Structure 1
Amino acid sequence: MSRLKDFVRSRSFHVIYINTGSCNGCDVEVLACLGPRYDVEQYGIFVHQPNPREADIVLVTGTVSEQWRGKLVPLYKKVPEPKAVVAVGQCACSGSLFEDGRTDPPVSDYIPVDAKVPGCPPRPQEIVDALLEVAPIVFKGYEEEG
């Protein structure tokens, strides 16, 4: 059974998507990645993983709101190694205009970020490119068959 799981996981990865307090502008762009124009699932990128223990990549949008301050790190720790984090949008990367509010950006102050996608909101292709950029981190340890 583990050989089959390793075979499947060596060719696809699962993304847990976390909104830590965004305006939902980035959320719309992430959902566009799932639509017919980009259709990331045909390439083995699954963005709807609700269970952190089965995820490979953590995709975070938004500033870190008060509600997420104590939840983000424990959730990150539940994702098994090897794992990667992608911060999507200006709020997650730097805080943008919410820098001086009741939020505590950026996300990298809480968890290590492997790729940043700046923009307000970023384009779906930039999000896909960032996911592909961190893919080698996730696939580390899986042997290529050939």
Structure 2
Amino acid sequence: MLPILKNIVSRRPTEEISPCDPEVEAVGRALKRAVDARMRRSLAIRELDSGSDNATEIEINLLSSPHYDVERFGVSFVASPRHADLLLVTGAVTRNMEVAVKKTYEAMPAPKYVVAVGDDACDGGIYRGTYAVLGGVDAVLPVDLKIPGNPPEPIDILRGILALMTN
């Protein structure tokens, strides 16, 4: 009985962890202002995997986690390119995905932005020059921003989107 009471009244190890990251909050507030000004209060993102190893997708998925929670900054992920303002492309563009990448881009309404996320999407990465890969996203689409890294951290992706929105 004593260990149970001790657990109830003692401090928890997680009580020392701050629930919010000041850097994420600062970048997020700046992104919210930029999205409000440029995109009329919301930014819809369609993520497209054009042949990646899924490392970058994991980091992009973290943007929707409680730690980053990009929805509170006016940024949302959408399933259809017809609803998207920004296309986040991950992975080197493979020959098999070339048509799908182009069709996804063509389905987006104007104005549309393309962001290459990760080293593979930026220049082909370690797959550059192989027989099955065309190269980075810029081999197929006009790219507005490249976010390097293998994979880039979620805060770097947020900073990149912020830089795009403030240009």
Query: Pairwise mapping of residues 124-139 of structure 1 onto structure 2 (< 5 A)?
Result: 124-136=154-166
From the CA coordinates, give the structure whose radius of gyration is larger: 2
Where does residue 71 of structure 2 map in the other structure? 41
The one-character-per-residue Cα deviations of 1:15-59 (angstroms, maximum 9, x if unpaired) are 000000100000010011111111111101002x11111110000
| Seq. identity, % | 35
Distance between the aligned counterparts of 1:136 and 1:54, measured in 2?
21
Q: Give the letter for the 1:94 counterpart.
A: D
1:57 aligns with 2:86: yes
Where does residue 113 of structure 2 map in the other structure? 84
Structure 2 residue aligned with 1:13, among 38, 43, 48? 43
Q: Give the letter for the 2:148 counterpart.
A: P
Give SS of 1:104's match: strand
Distance between the aligned counterparts of 2:161 and 2:127, measured in 1?
25
Q: What TM-score does the superposition give when structure 2 sets the normalisation length? A: 0.73
Structure number having the greater helix percentage: 2
The one-character-per-residue Cα deviations of 1:72-92 (angstroms, maximum 9, x if unpaired) are 112101111111111000000
- Would you say the 8 A contact 2:43–2:75 is kept in 1? yes
Q: Give the letter for the 1:30 counterpart.
A: I
| Structure 1 unmatched runs, 5+ | 1-8, 138-146
Segments of 4+ in structure 1 off by > 4 A?
none
Structure 2 residue aligned with 1:67, among 96, 111, 114? 96
- Where relative contact order (Cα < 8 A, 6+ residues apart) is larger, the structure is 1
1:103 aligns with 2:133: yes
| Structure 2 unmatched runs, 5+ | 1-38
Distance between the aligned counterparts of 2:162 and 2:64, measured in 1?
15
Once the two structures are TM-superposed, the CA of residue 66 in structure 1 deviates from its matched residue by 2.2
Give SS of 1:122's match: coil
Give SS of 2:102's match: helix
Aligned-CA RMSD value: 1.3
Q: What TM-score does the superposition give when structure 1 sets the normalisation length? A: 0.83
Structure 1 residue aligned with 2:148, among 118, 140, 144? 118
Distance between the aligned counterparts of 1:117 and 1:73, measured in 2?
20
